């Protein structure tokens, strides 16, 4: 029982950016969320995908093919989206 509880607490977040547009990707176990964001204003653009990790990974590959790059920083201002 403790193992499954710890499993749900495992979480990773990343930002993929291209100009002012970005995608915040949060992975929780075998499930992931991907939210389109305005990087300068740190607000959501109200486009959100919640799906199994494999599906989100394929979506991230498409973003990389479109010229999005993995950001080397994740500011604390994004915490409210990660915790949602």
The answer to whether the CB of 21 falls within 8 A of the CB of 34 is no
**So what's the pLDDT on residue 46?**
85
- Between 74 and 50, name the one with better pLDDT: 50
Tell me the domains of the chain and their CATH numbers. 2-72 (3.30.67)
Q: Is the pTM above the cut of 0.95?
A: no
Instruction: Name the region of 65 (left: φ>0; alpha: ψ -120 to 50; beta: rest).
Output: alpha
Question: What is the pLDDT of the chain when averaged over all its residues?
Answer: 82
Q: Categorize the per-residue pLDDT at 12 as very low, low, confident or very high, splitting at 50, 70 and 90.
A: confident
Average confidence (pLDDT) over 9-38: 88
């Amino acid at each position: 029982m403790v193992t499954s509880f710890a499993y749900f607490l495992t979480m990773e977040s990343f930002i993929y950016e291209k100009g002012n547009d970005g995608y915040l990707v949060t992975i929780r176990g075998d499930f992931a969320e991907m939210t389109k964001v305005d990087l300068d204003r740190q607000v959501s653009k109200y486009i959100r995908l919640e799906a199994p990790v494999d599906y989100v990974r394929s979506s991230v590959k498409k973003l990389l093919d479109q010229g999005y790059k993995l950001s080397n920083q994740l500011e604390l201002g994004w915490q409210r989206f990660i915790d949602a």
